[in-house]
Amino acid sequence: MSIRLATQSDFDIIMDNYRVMTEYPGQVEAGAGWVLGIYPDETMIQEAINLKQYYVFELEDKICGGMIINEAYTEGYEKVSWQIQADEGEFISIHALGVMPNARGKGIAKALVQFAQAYGNKRNYKAIRIDVYGVNRAGKKLYPATGFVLVDTIELYYEDTGLAEYLMYEYII
């Protein structure tokens, strides 16, 4: 088991993994709300790889999970009363965290989040801030279990979900 930066040669595997994740029958019930080609899309993943922001989780030499860690956030974050003051560039976000259906239940998502926490700590960020789609059951369990605090619930617009309720979580580093 290892987490490493994605390389260009990983791109097709990563996109195939997202295809499997978005088409998996249980995905709708899990509530991530992803629509492949909209979120996540090839441009987003390619850019994250190029900027060295995409991390993969390997199990037995196979990529079975991944995420983006960067300073990007969507419009609406400025409306939230966060626990601490952290200006742009002082916090990071996690995007498109996903685990292959056949690898779920093995602590991979938790390991990815803990990696992001260590990443933020090592680079002296103040916090990790994320939004979780309101019906995303897995996310609503994962983030509190890894030390994130639910700070607010607001409406955000994303192309894949439209205007919808999102839970705003923060982890103070």
* pLDDT exceeds 80 at position 91: yes
Instruction: Please compute the mean of the pLDDT values over residues 96-105 and round it to a whole number.
Output: 93
CATH number of the structural domain spanning residue 49: 3.40.630.30
Beta bridge partners, 62, equal 59
d(C-alpha 103, C-alpha 95), whole Å: 19
* Dist CA 10 CA 49 (whole Å): 9
What percent of the chain lies above the pLDDT cut of 90? Answer: 83
Helix (H) or strand (E) holding 27: helix 25-30
Give the pLDDT score at 172: 99
Gap between the Cα atoms of 69 and 168, Å rounded:
16
Structure tokens at 1: 């088991």
Q: Which domain holds residue 36?
A: 2-172
pLDDT tens for residues 9-50?
999 999 999 999 988 766 655 656 777 788 899 999 999 999
Domain tally, the chain: 1
